[in-house]
């Protein structure tokens, strides 16, 4: 049982009232840690102030690097002795994962196929490049199907006047894979599960 401060997956298992596999326990622990890590991010990592600019900018690499740091601090030694959090791993030449796709984060046990979570991150600016969101969702599906990852997470951060743009909502509504979850980090200290299937997987 992984613990970090108030993070205890046993509480979530009790609430759900169902038998949960060890992989699901690991995923739920990671999900709570991911939400906590995002909540810990300071505003200048969420939107980067720009000298001479009127408004701060969304910069996905700045956001992802800080999210990685916060996650590593929260996950704890027990979890990280079983899984490794890696960013943008190049799978080129991999004997099983044959397409050269690089998701933003993977949580896996390097050297075997004990793969827990694959994560893609997009800022709200993807509303103007909606095909990039489609490609990220395709990457999640590829890693779920071909690399046998247990779950996929699409993390979208930012908002337009406090809302998700309609074209992003439509794209999310069309997700039909129950293994994919969407998190919306709308503003610093405010992140929630926006979309998940109710069907049991």
Give φ, ψ of 197 to 5 degrees: -70, 145
Instruction: For the chain, state the CA radius of gyration.
Output: 17
- pTM, to two decimals: 0.84
Task: Indicate the DSSP class of residue 179.
Answer: T
Contacts of 35 (CB under 8 A, 6+ apart): 183, 191
Selection from 120, 115, 123, 132 nearest residue 180 by Cα: 120
Q: What residue has token string 């700045």? A: 62
Instruction: Tell whether the model's pLDDT for residue 8 goes beyond 50.
Output: no
Q: What is the 8-class DSSP label of residue 178?
A: T
**pLDDT tens-digit readout, 17-53:** 444 588 999 999 999 999 999 999 999 999 998 776 6
Distance CA 41, CA 48 (A): 12
Token pair for residue 95?
């004997």
pLDDT in tens, 61-72: 999 999 999 999
Task: Please answer whether residues 140 and 148 qualify as being in contact, where contact means their C-beta atoms are separated by less than 8 angstroms.
Answer: no
DSSP 16-84: HTS---HHHHHHHHHHHHHHHHHHH--HHHHSB--TT-SS-B--HHHHHHHHHHHHHHHHHHHHHHH-E
What is the helix (H) or strand (E) element at residue 194, kind and residue range?
strand 190-195
Q: What is the pLDDT of residues 71-85, one digit of tens each?
A: 999 999 999 999 999
Name all domains of the chain by residue range, CATH numbers in brackets. Answer: 3-195 (3.40.91)
Residue with tokens 């247990």: 150
CB 136 within 8 A of CB 120: yes
Mean pLDDT of the chain: 85
Nearest 5 degrees, angle CA 90-CA 95-CA 100?
A: 35
């Amino acid at each position: 049982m992984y613990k970090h401060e108030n993070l205890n997956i046993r509480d979530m298992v009790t609430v759900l009232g169902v038998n949960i596999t060890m992989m699901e326990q690991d995923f739920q622990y990671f999900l709570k840690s991911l939400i906590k890590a995002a909540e810990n991010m300071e505003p200048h990592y969420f939107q980067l102030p720009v000298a001479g600019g009127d408004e701060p900018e969304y910069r996905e690499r700045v956001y992802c690097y800080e999210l990685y740091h916060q996650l590593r601090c929260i996950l704890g030694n027990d979890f990280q002795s079983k899984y490794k959090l890696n960013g943008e791993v190049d799978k080129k030449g991999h004997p099983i994962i044959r397409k050269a796709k690089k998701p933003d984060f993977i949580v896996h046990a390097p050297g075997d196929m004990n793969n827990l979570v694959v994560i893609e991150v997009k800022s709200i600016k993807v509303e103007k490049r909606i095909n990039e969101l489609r490609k990220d969702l395709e990457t999640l599906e590829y890693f779920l199907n071909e690399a046998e990852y247990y779950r996929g997470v699409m993390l979208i951060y930012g908002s337009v006047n406090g809302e998700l743009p309609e074209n992003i909502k439509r794209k999310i509504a069309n997700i039909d894979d129950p293994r994919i979850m969407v998190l919306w980090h709308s503003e610093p200290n405010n992140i929630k599960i926006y979309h998940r299937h109710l069907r049991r997987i």
